[in-house]
């Protein structure tokens, strides 16, 4: 009986030791988060331009918006914008109500139609003149300008390299401060997936105008920030 109890205790002790060994080894590590950032100039923009028309009859308001949108599309084609870089945006037809309140309730005084297109511009040097051209041919809304990158992979990868380099630097710094030596890299994991967010310019609505602009629209794209972050685990060598 005593032999059986002793054997059971020995088995339990070995099991605890085997379970605790990986934990102890795992504690002998340095975990850091490396962050990398890079600033690059955008090489493309996405703009949303359109028309807003009003009329007493719904069909008339919609026809006026459709005709103006067709003129905008013709202008974009003449400026060399590819059809693949153009897609429809908002298309709306809303009633306008008079301020007078009648016995039967509010009264519709007319209709407002909105038609917009989203345009990808791959040559920023032409963006200002392109905006002026479409306004001259009927556009009276500018609902958004977003600056971005045609191929962000190269810049994103550079941000990732910087994140890994920063993680290695931090691991060496902490090891020196703690009086230990950095060992092999045990784990590396990206946090957030990398990438970037397009930079948006301030949106505004142009005033209704029938004349063409005398000047190109000034454009200052600035720079885009790309970020990356990684978690790195290093073994402690001694």
Q: CATH number of 28-43+150-210+220-238: 3.40.50.300, 3.40.50.720, 1.10.8.60, 3.30.110.170?
A: 3.30.110.170
Q: How far apart are the first and last CA of the chain?
A: 45
According to CATH, the superfamily of the domain at 44-148 is Protein of unknown function (DUF541), domain 2 (3.30.70.2970)
In sequence order, the 6+-apart residues with CB closer than 8 A to the CB of 225 are: 37, 38, 39, 196
Q: For the chain, give the longest Cα–Cα distance.
A: 106
- Who contacts 120 (Cβ-Cβ below 8 Å, separation ≥6)? 44, 45, 46, 81, 85, 86
Contact 186, 28 (CB under 8 A): no
Rounded Cα gap, residues 1 and 15, in angstroms: 21
Query: Considering the entire predicted model, what is its pTM?
Result: 0.69
pLDDT score at 136: 83
Contacts of 100 (CB under 8 A, 6+ apart): 107
Give mean pLDDT, residues 144-154: 90
Percent of the chain with pLDDT strictly greater than 90: 54
> Which sequence spans correspond to the domains of the chain?
28-43+150-210+220-238, 44-148
Q: What is the pLDDT of residues 84-98, one digit of tens each?
A: 999 998 899 999 887
Confidence label for 3 from pLDDT (cuts 50, 70 and 90): very low
What is the structure's pLDDT at 6?
A: 42
pLDDT in tens, 209-219: 445 555 556 66
């Amino acid at each position: 009986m005593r032999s059986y109890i002793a054997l059971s205790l020995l088995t339990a002790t070995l099991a605890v030791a085997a379970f605790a060994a990986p934990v102890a080894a795992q504690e002998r590590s340095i975990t850091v988060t490396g962050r990398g950032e890079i600033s690059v100039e955008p090489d493309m923009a996405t703009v949303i331009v359109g028309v807003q028309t009003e009329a007493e009859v719904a069909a008339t308001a919609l026809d006026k918006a459709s005709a103006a949108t067709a003129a905008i599309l013709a202008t974009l084609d003449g400026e060399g914008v590819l059809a693949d870089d153009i897609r429809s945006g908002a298309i709306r037809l809303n009633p306008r109500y008079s301020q007078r309140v009648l016995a039967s309730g509010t009264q519709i005084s007319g209709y407002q139609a909105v038609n917009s297109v989203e345009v990808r511009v791959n040559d920023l040097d032409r963006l200002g003149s392109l905006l002026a051209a479409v306004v001259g041919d009927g556009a009276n809304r500018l609902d958004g300008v977003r600056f971005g990158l045609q191929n962000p992979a190269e810049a994103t990868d550079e941000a990732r390299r910087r994140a890994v380099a920063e993680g290695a630097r931090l691991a060496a710094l902490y090891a020196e401060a703690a009086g230990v030596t950095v060992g092999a890299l045990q784990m590396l994991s990206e946090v957030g997936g990398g990438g970037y967010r397009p930079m948006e310019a301030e949106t505004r609505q142009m005033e209704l105008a029938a004349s063409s602009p005398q000047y190109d629209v000034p454009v200052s794209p600035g720079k885009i920030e790309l970020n990356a972050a990684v978690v790195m685990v290093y073994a402690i060598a001694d």
